[in-house]
Amino acid sequence: MNRLFHILLSFLVLIILAQCAKIGRPSGGPRDIAPPVVLKSKPLNRSTSFMGTQIEITFDEYINSQGMSQELVVSPPLEESPEIRMRGKTLIIDLLEELRENTTYTLSFGESIKDLNEGNILRNYEFVFSTGEKLDSLGVLGMAVQAFNLESPESEDPIFMMLYENLSDSAPLLEIPDYVGKITPQGAFLINNVRPGTYRLFALQDLNRNYMYDVPEEMIGFLDTTFILDPEMFEYQLPDTIPEPDSLLVDSLEIALQDSIDLSMEDTVIVEVSDSVMLAELGRYSVYVDIFLFQEDNKPQYLIDYTRDDRRKLSLYFNRELTDSVYLEPYNFEPSGDWFLLEEHVMKDTLDIWLKDSVVYNLDSLHFLAEYPVTDSLLNYITFYDTLKFNYREPQTSARRRKRQEVEEEEKEKISLSTNIVSSQPMDIYKPARFEIQHPVVSTDLSRISFSRQEDTLKIPVPYSLEKDTSRMRRYFMKVDWESEMRYFLDIYPGAFTDIYGLTHDTVTVSFRSRNIEWYSRILLNLSGVDGPKIVQVLDKNDEIVRATNVFQDGLIEFDYMEPASFTLKVIHDNNENGKWDTGKYLEGIQPESVSYHPGSITLRSNFDMEINWNLKADEDLSEDESEDQSQGDNPTEGKQ
């Protein structure tokens, strides 16, 4: 018994010693979530009569300066970027060029100041100094959105707001701005510490980062007119002296943006300010503006590629819609008669040339002298002369596959025929049946199409009409007066469609059911305030156009057979009445066509009529309750279609 006791006692002691011998990481305090704090600077922030070339800013902890050079914005901009380095906890900024006299400079760090360990960000810190005896205190603030959809700008490249004292239209194309500010990902912008004067305002997605509009693909925005910044414009008088940073009263600032455009975002933007900006400067002495960003329609015209993947078809691909005809003159062969058929695609940037003459398409190489439109360096359209060689090579195959192909070639060649009818899905009763044929069709035979519905145990023939799509050569529509939730049978036999080569298709057989009419909903839009041509669109959750109609006057618009889902209503103010949204042209002073969105989304459910009243001219400063009521539709009433 004593021996057992000693064994148990020894085992217990070993366990205790093992626990005591464990080496562990001591538990720390709470996680650091505080951003870096500026302890001092040389010179003091908001100093005047600055004559130096170096700025030192000391923080309470070590700073990660990686990427700071790309994030830092200096206004007025410098031709040579400052040199940035760290010395312990001190950020050193070397200015590499002579500064302007009597000018207030603002160094905006955005989100580039972050501590080394946790990455906590000191947001929107600004260091301000003047080479004169006073600090300029006027400014411009506002929102920049994409003109086409009123959404925040999405860009990996910086988007700047620029102020020019040079009021010439060509200034943004030829010189850097006098003041600059960076647009946040949410679209807010602020240019601080601007001297009184008359300015031109310009927005630029600066792809090559040179502060000039010299790349056609750059997104821009501009005010139609110049504007004045003057202290007398503001209700409050500018202060004679600027307080020291430690006496400032605010650590953050709410800028309530004027609701002057219908933005699909919050009405208030929070701009965090650390120890450097007064409420008076940002709120009382800044002019508010809205800027609509767009990309000019100035892409050059050129031929992207040309191919011959099919022996019978030549394809030409352009980078944008063609403005003129394309001519191909045979160079190494002499065709006779009607030897080709031209197919233009909907976007008019692709041409397919179907070779009808077997003597021609059996040639492995076809050479052409080509004429097609391109743009020169000034974006003027000119005719370009080219030589195009279309070569065709039969796909390389194994001996076994070649033998199988030879057997298949002994049978009559078939063309493919596809349709939007799917047996496993109900057919929408407002859509026609659609057929896509592989090659251009030369003839149709309706006797080779059997279409019927089920009634008890019988199949009853259903009348229909077959129409060729006016915009797509190889597409046909079968239009039917569909009945609700009915079983249909469709049989398309060989010979229903015959292509230009005398080929036809295999038998296509499909049975399907039409959708129940009570599944659908309907939008009844009472649109008022229509002062010109408009395009009314219903957009789904992916911003794809579900329905659209042109409107010229106030009235009721009905969107029938709507899916029970959530949608958004959009209006394009179609000023030139061409049925589409048009971008702007800066040098011609043309703004992009404006758009409007109905507040909130519209949620539809089956077998309901959703009534919505929308006055395009009404005050858009709706209360939260009114916005909620409109987003649900005004006076929805239940009823069958």
The number of beta carbons lying within 10 Å of the beta carbon of residue 189 is 23
390-419 average pLDDT score: 74
Q: What are the start-end ranges of the H helices in 207-326?
A: 279
The yes-or-no verdict on residue 320 having pLDDT over 80 is yes
Picking from 47, 146, 53, 46, the residue whose alpha carbon sits closest to that of residue 97 is 53
Helix (H) or strand (E) holding 15: helix 2-21
The 10s digit of each residue's pLDDT in 185-238 is: 889 898 989 999 999 999 999 998 899 999 888 999 999 888 888 888 776 555
Distance between CA atoms of residues 481 and 492, nearest Å: 19
Predicted local confidence at residue 13, as pLDDT = 37
| Tokens matching residue 83 | 């040199």
145-167 average pLDDT score: 93
The 10s digit of each residue's pLDDT in 592-628 is: 999 999 998 999 999 999 999 999 987 444 433 433 4
Q: What is the third-level CATH fold of 414-515?
A: Immunoglobulin-like (2.60.40)
User: Between 1.10.10.10, 2.40.50.1020, 3.40.718.10, 2.60.40.1120, what CATH number should domain 518-638 receive?
Assistant: 2.60.40.1120
Confidence grade of residue 120 (pLDDT, cut at 50, 70, 90) = confident
DSSP secondary structure code for residue 281 in this structure:
I
The 10s digit of each residue's pLDDT in 48-107 is: 999 999 999 999 999 988 888 888 999 999 989 999 999 999 999 999 999 999 999 999
357-383 average pLDDT score: 94
| Cα angle for residues 516, 517, 518 (degrees, 5° grid) | 90
525-536 average pLDDT score: 95
- Report yes or no: 206 and 226 within 8 Å, Cβ to Cβ: no
The number of beta carbons lying within 10 Å of the beta carbon of residue 573 is 16
Q: Taking the model in full, what pTM does it have? A: 0.79
Predicted local confidence at residue 2, as pLDDT = 46
Predicted local confidence at residue 267, as pLDDT = 32
Predicted local confidence at residue 260, as pLDDT = 34
Q: Where are the domains positioned within the chain?
A: 38-130, 138-295, 303-391, 414-515, 518-638
Q: Same topology for domains 303-391 and 518-638, yes or no?
A: yes
| Cα angle for residues 197, 199, 205 (degrees, 5° grid) | 145
CATH, range 38-130? 2.60.40.1220
The yes-or-no verdict on residue 483 having pLDDT over 60 is yes
3-state class of 20 per DSSP? helix
Predicted local confidence at residue 111, as pLDDT = 86
Assign 3-class secondary structure to 179-221: EEEECCCCCEEEEEEECCEEEEEEEEECCCCCCCCCCCCCEEE
Predicted local confidence at residue 25, as pLDDT = 40
The yes-or-no verdict on residue 110 having pLDDT over 50 is yes
Give the number of C-alpha atoms closer than 13 A to the C-alpha of residue 574, restricted to the C-beta side. Answer: 18
CATH, range 303-391? 2.60.40
Distance between CA atoms of residues 207 and 213, nearest Å: 9
Q: How far is CA 207 from the centre of its chain?
A: 16
The yes-or-no verdict on residue 268 having pLDDT over 80 is no
Picking from 5, 205, 190, 8, the residue whose alpha carbon sits closest to that of residue 108 is 190
Picking from 431, 555, 437, the residue whose alpha carbon sits closest to that of residue 506 is 437
Helix (H) or strand (E) holding 41: strand 38-42
Widest distance between CA atoms in the chain? 119
